[in-house]
């Protein structure tokens, strides 16, 4: 999630794709701020992603837990 290339339509398509193909989707950012730099995200961006993932019933977890889930 980067302010410099934020596009809700692209995010929504990626979430739908992961949902319908039982895929993984990895989101990362360099920080959350009310005034994010080009590589950061705003709270509104994070909220949009989390709400969209919740609506799609895609679990949210740290990468370590996701990898453990697959390996165990």
| pLDDT (mean) for 7-12 | 96
Burial 9-44 (b: 16+ CB within 10 A, else e): eebeebbeebbeeeeeeeeebeeeeeebeeebbbee
How many Cα atoms are found within 13 Å in the side-chain-facing hemisphere of 22? Answer: 1
Tokens matching residue 42:
């705003």
| pTM for this prediction | 0.86
pLDDT of residue 70: 87
Q: Which DSSP letter does residue 5 get?
A: G
Of 1, 8, 14, whose CA–CA distance to 56 is shortest?
14
Reported as a single tens digit per residue, the pLDDT across 21-50 is 999 999 999 999 999 999 999 999 999 999
- Chain-wide mean pLDDT for the chain? 94
């Amino acid at each position: 999630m980067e302010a410099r290339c934020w596009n809700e339509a692209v995010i929504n398509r990626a979430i739908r794709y992961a949902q319908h193909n039982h895929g993984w989707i990895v989101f990362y950012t360099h920080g959350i701020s009310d005034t994010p730099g080009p590589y950061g995200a705003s709270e509104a961006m994070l909220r949009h992603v989390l709400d969209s993932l919740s609506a799609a019933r895609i679990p949210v977890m740290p990468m370590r837990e996701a990898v453990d889930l697959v390996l165990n």
